[in-house]
Amino acid sequence: PSPSSRLTEEGAQNALITEADIEEQWQKSRTPPQSWRDSLLLGEVDVADFVTGRSDAKECQRLVDALYDDTLLGKPSGPTALAGFEQGDSRLLYQVAGYDEKTLDASMKWLSSLPETCDTFTVTGGDSGRRTVEVTETSLPDEGDARQGLKVQLKGESAGNPVTLTLDVAAVRIGTDAFTVMNGGLDGADAPTTKNAVEQGAQRLEEVQAGRTPAPAPSEIE
């Protein structure tokens, strides 16, 4: 978008998806999404897992930290808005923001490197003991100027019982704005939900960038 149509605070809010956009039985969270900090993601990446040592381990640590504190694309330079949804024990976090162009391009490139750099590694420390993390690439709808999908599976223990945290992660860039989706939980991640969030999110952000207010979904009107 041209400088005159850059994302505003109101535009960022209007670009957020709704329950109707992701369908199923999702409900908007009653608790602030910023409070969703999963302790399984807390810890230090084991450097011994990597042939190239600390350089690759640093990138994987950045991923774990970013998943924990919702900074997959780095710190926004412009307005930002956040929405959280819940369905059973699963959660979906959606964030839209304006970024510095070079920073955004670098972040998208970094995300695309992770399935190779961080395909399998170990996290230690914290309250959850030793955890194995697997990162694989996933396909996303052909939306935006650039996009990257990841599936992150973290296997460890919680209260002495084996658990697997599965997260679908998506990032889509449209101009110098972008949105991210983080969807999943201990019961797994629903890929069609991620797909809906990406498709509807791209449509809403493009509407906002064009200076329009996205029309409400049918279920919002009822």
Residue 118 structural domain: 3-210
Q: What is the pTM of this model?
A: 0.90
Give the pairing of strands 131-138 and 146-158.
antiparallel
Q: Residue 20: inside a domain, yes or no?
A: yes
Q: What is the C-alpha to C-alpha distance for residues 138 and 151, in angstroms, rounded to an integer?
A: 6
Average pLDDT over residues 86-104: 93
Q: Residue 217: inside a domain, yes or no?
A: no
159 half-sphere exposure, CB direction, 13 A CA radius: 0
Q: Residue 56: inside a domain, yes or no?
A: yes
Q: Residue 64: inside a domain, yes or no?
A: yes
- pLDDT single digits (tens) 112-144: 999 999 999 999 987 667 899 999 999 999 999
Q: Residue 216: inside a domain, yes or no?
A: no
Q: Residue 219: inside a domain, yes or no?
A: no
Domains held by the chain: number: 1
User: Which of 10-14, 31-35, 149-153, 205-209 has the lowest average pLDDT?
Assistant: 31-35
Q: Residue 37: inside a domain, yes or no?
A: yes
Q: Residue 59: inside a domain, yes or no?
A: yes
**Residues ≥6 apart with Cβ < 8 Å to 70:** 33, 34, 82, 93, 95, 180, 182
Q: Is the pLDDT of residue 103 over 90?
A: yes
Q: What is the C-alpha to C-alpha distance for residues 153 and 125, in angstroms, rounded to an integer?
A: 18
Question: The CATH number of the domain where 85 resides is what?
Answer: 3.40.1000.70
Q: Is the pLDDT of residue 8 over 90?
A: yes
